[in-house]
Structure 1
């Protein structure tokens, strides 16, 4: 550095904020305010700063000699396949017709999930967990529709899996989880409350909002029953989450939704997330909200939640600093998501053969003759490398080590399957919330 030539170390960012600039180094755990001149000098790689200042910044790892390579952390090539959890993509059938459904639930033909395949998958992950000493195997029930419409499958797999684990794997624990729209009978709700470790219920707020966005298949209301089911689950399901989807039509009512959730349900946190713009989520009325309107609504909602000592969660903008995350979800593990026709998908939002994104997510299939799961090791290894480093539009974004690229299903255009290039609504939401959180850290120190 004797000639004054340097560069900001890779993955160190100068972030513009309303009242100036921040120096943000996620891997060094450093956030600092910058004077305008210093910010400009750092970006240009030239500085008239004193040798002592440069030496200090260099010692922190924030600036390095111009020819210093500084690769970002990446995954390793690994073709192994021994998952300890399975996601059952139970059904495409649904008793609701939500106005923004990313999966067009109810619009696809329904195939009954093969019971033998389901039990083979449970045995597979339980055996893997026992062999690896993991201590827990995971049985998760998801799908493009409502899983409880094939409730016999859920009950059969969970009961069989836990009995098999007791008899064959000693003290191995079987964790069961599911998502549901909550429009279920008392008998189903009671069984779920007694047997599920984790449940996510979709519930969009007060009756006027919920019923507008989540009508039944015949156009009726679902609010009252969903609320009753959530109240039945509360205190009985160890990990219970309510997820409210914020559409363009509802974004201006986020404070109202927050007050309703906090005053009605005794839960520590609630998830508010923007519509995913695929399937019916491309709706003009009920599609993705405008980013800055969502951000304003989030702050107003969290202010109300603060009154109750609760938290509003936005999954793409979790408060993770000083920790970083390279991956957003289990797509890079990859997830062992099993569709009703036997395809293995890394993403439980990509489950139909005609989905243009399927080639990016599918990596194997159930073999009915051998009752085994045939996978492409090369494809698995590529998925394990497919993290935030692989997204061109994230390359220079300061927020990428917090949001980790967000949901991989939206990396690709759902109509063409092509990689998206420009930032989108969720990008703008995440960047704004993460930037504001970084600014709040230096504001209190």
Structure 2
């Protein structure tokens, strides 16, 4: 399977099944497109046949010289022989092994607080209540959750725990106590906990910062960008904006972590489709690790992204990609989460096929100890899998998630981005299509664009590196 596109002056050819990326001249780009049109499952031998060669030469008789076409075809046949172009799909044969994997939990999202001190207008958690009641997780429930994780983690040594909400800092003492308990258990069970916390920053202070820097492998800082954008969507319950209070705290925390192991994480909506300006604002504030996610909402929500917004969103991603390249040339680069892509290694094949592991490797725990496949299913009783006292009592839910992969979704089978998004968010699929085995179409369109931009950035950075070596 071949995917071709042109972006920022680059002619890019992605061989989907091998993962190989080729940056080619216009002739190579055109000839590959012609070969793909003749047959999308070319082999080295079919490319070399006289019939194929004559067909390609006839198609470009007024554009390229026959001898030049012969040279290009020879090169393409060589790449195909090496498995780097027109590669067959060998991954589907692995899917049965992936589906047979046992449930080995490696990560928990601890809903340490079903309460929040902000009133974000797009919050899927209903200001922390998750379709239920306000509550803070007790130490006893959190302790049982960590015990459950250890008991169900098999031979995995590295375990991940995200303190989530609502707003986790509203239950700060329990966070600290659970980290201390986890450190004790590490020594007993030969495990290592990687703790993270997601916070809106309202309660962030020097004592909290010191603890975070000592114990948290990562921290996610919620901020939507420019003051007017952030305060429109992320106000206090009295309507007052949160920007002026939290930004200095976030700047201080990022600096104290040497601009590493954190993310400033924003959300863009229909009301700020010019979100590349919010990324620029993050850069101006001194941040180097950032992400701005598209909001997910029902079409009836005034802030929800609609299909007609996609052209502008694509343009914004292109602007952002060009800006990142410019900053890199100036020696002032930064990381944007959705453009971080590994073209050489990347996730293992199981992860590429089946995604985030929600419902099997990753679970969410409510303040009272109920287990759900992930934070976006919390409150939906159809997805209540068990609790920290009894463990997983409905393994059939895990089985359903385990069977969800890029080959169980028709929309994914022929999508060039399938091995990068791994089928997309199952919660979005369920909430928009009523099944785990589908896809949220608007989200898919944006993901495809992000993948294209990310690959183009890699090509541009390779050029920058080559220029530096020749200088």
- The normalised TM-score by structure 2 is 0.75
Distance 2:87 2:272 in 1: 48
Distance 2:12 2:247 in 1: 44
- Of 55-64 and 195-204, deviating more is 55-64
Q: Which aligned pairs between 1:267-346 and structure 2 lie closer than 5 A?
A: 267-277=287-297, 283-285=301-303, 287=305, 290-305=309-324, 306-307=326-327, 309-315=332-338, 318-323=340-345, 325-331=352-358, 333-346=360-373
- Could you tell me which of 408, 411, 422 is aligned with 1:404? 422
Distance 1:302 1:22 in 2: 15
- Could you tell me which of 134, 147, 150 is aligned with 1:123? 147
> Secondary structure of 1:220's partner?
coil
Distance 1:185 1:69 in 2: 49
Partner of 2:264: 242
Partner of 1:425: 442
Contact 1:334 1:380 survives alignment (8 Å):
no
Shift in alpha-carbon separation, 1:28–1:189, aligned structure 2, 3 A: closer
Pairwise CA RMSD: 3.6
User: Are residue 39 (structure 1) and residue 56 (structure 2) matched?
Assistant: no
- Of 199-208 and 320-329, deviating more is 320-329
Contact 1:79 1:377 survives alignment (8 Å):
no
Partner of 1:146: 167
Report the CA distance between 1:442 and its aligned residue: 7.5
Distance 1:254 1:70 in 2: 36
Distance 1:390 1:156 in 2: 42
> Secondary structure of 1:234's partner?
helix
Partner of 2:467: none
Partner of 1:182: 201
Distance 2:312 2:107 in 1: 38
Q: Which aligned pairs between 1:11-26 and structure 2 lie closer than 5 A?
A: 12-15=1-4, 17=6, 24-26=14-16
Distance 2:431 2:152 in 1: 35
Report the CA distance between 1:434 and its aligned residue: 2.4
> Secondary structure of 1:330's partner?
coil
Q: Which has the higher contact order (CA 8 A, sep 6+)?
A: 1
Contact 1:393 1:423 survives alignment (8 Å):
no
Distance 1:378 1:115 in 2: 29
Report the CA distance between 1:141 and its aligned residue: 1.1
Alignment deviations for residues 385-427 of structure 1 (CA, whole Å, 9 cap, x no partner): 322222221111111112222222211225x734585762221
> Secondary structure of 1:388's partner?
coil
Shift in alpha-carbon separation, 1:225–1:123, aligned structure 2, 3 A: same
Partner of 1:434: 451
Partner of 2:18: 28
- Of 54-63 and 321-330, deviating more is 54-63
Distance 1:160 1:327 in 2: 32
Aligned length: 412
Partner of 1:5: none
User: Are residue 224 (structure 1) and residue 224 (structure 2) matched?
Assistant: no
User: Are residue 264 (structure 1) and residue 285 (structure 2) matched?
Assistant: yes
Report the CA distance between 1:180 and its aligned residue: 0.9
Shift in alpha-carbon separation, 1:411–1:314, aligned structure 2, 3 A: farther
User: Are residue 100 (structure 1) and residue 103 (structure 2) matched?
Assistant: no
Contact 1:247 1:288 survives alignment (8 Å):
no
Contact 1:334 1:384 survives alignment (8 Å):
no
> Secondary structure of 2:113's partner?
coil
Contact 2:427 2:436 survives alignment (8 Å):
no
- The normalised TM-score by structure 1 is 0.78
Partner of 2:253: 233
Contact 2:353 2:406 survives alignment (8 Å):
yes
Shift in alpha-carbon separation, 1:82–1:375, aligned structure 2, 3 A: farther
- Could you tell me which of 187, 211, 234 is aligned with 1:214? 234
Contact 1:205 1:244 survives alignment (8 Å):
yes
Contact 2:314 2:446 survives alignment (8 Å):
yes
Shift in alpha-carbon separation, 1:376–1:78, aligned structure 2, 3 A: farther
Distance 2:416 2:380 in 1: 36
Distance 2:456 2:213 in 1: 42
Alignment deviations for residues 91-118 of structure 1 (CA, whole Å, 9 cap, x no partner): 3322111122233224542134243221
